[in-house]
């Protein structure tokens, strides 16, 4: 007799104090994918809530902040838009930079949105 019950939602807390953006983001992406759970399945979004605390205390070098450029295309001719990381932090906050970084580490499939909804970033 097999049970089709879903695993209970678990929480995973990451402290970002004095850590680099990529290391924190890769740890969060791994947890969101369910790699740290015994219930891991590639084709299911594991109910795990990932919280990143102290995002404003991330160690981001000045060279990285000025050199990293985020681009997106509006869909119109000449619509390629670029924004540097330091400008994005000023306009949208460090939480959006962290979310965008983690989002880039999640596979591009139909489970991406449900997984990203489980990410909470506290500045």
**What domains lie within the chain, and their CATH numbers?**
11-60+93-121 (3.90.1180.10)
pLDDT digits (tens, 9 = 90+) for 11-25: 999 999 999 999 999
pLDDT digits (tens, 9 = 90+) for 62-91: 999 999 999 999 999 999 999 999 999 999
Mean pLDDT of 5-14: 81
Q: What DSSP string runs through 16-74?
A: -TT-BHHHHHHHHHHHHHTTTSTT--TTS---EEEEEE-GGG-B--HHHHHH-EEEEE-
């Amino acid at each position: 007799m097999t049970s089709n019950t879903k695993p209970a939602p678990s929480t995973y807390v990451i402290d970002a104090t004095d850590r680099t953006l990529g290391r924190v983001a890769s740890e969060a992406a791994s947890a969101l994918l369910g790699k740290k759970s015994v219930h891991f399945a590639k084709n299911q979004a594991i109910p795990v809530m990932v919280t990143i605390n102290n995002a404003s205390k991330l160690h981001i070098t000045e060279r990285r902040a000025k050199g990293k450029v985020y681009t997106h295309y509006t869909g119109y001719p000449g619509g390629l838009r670029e924004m540097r990381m330091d400008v994005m932090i000023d306009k949208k906050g460090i939480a959006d930079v962290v979310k965008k970084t983690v989002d880039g580490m999640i596979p591009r499939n139909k489970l991406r949105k449900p997984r990203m909804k489980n990410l909470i970033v506290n500045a």
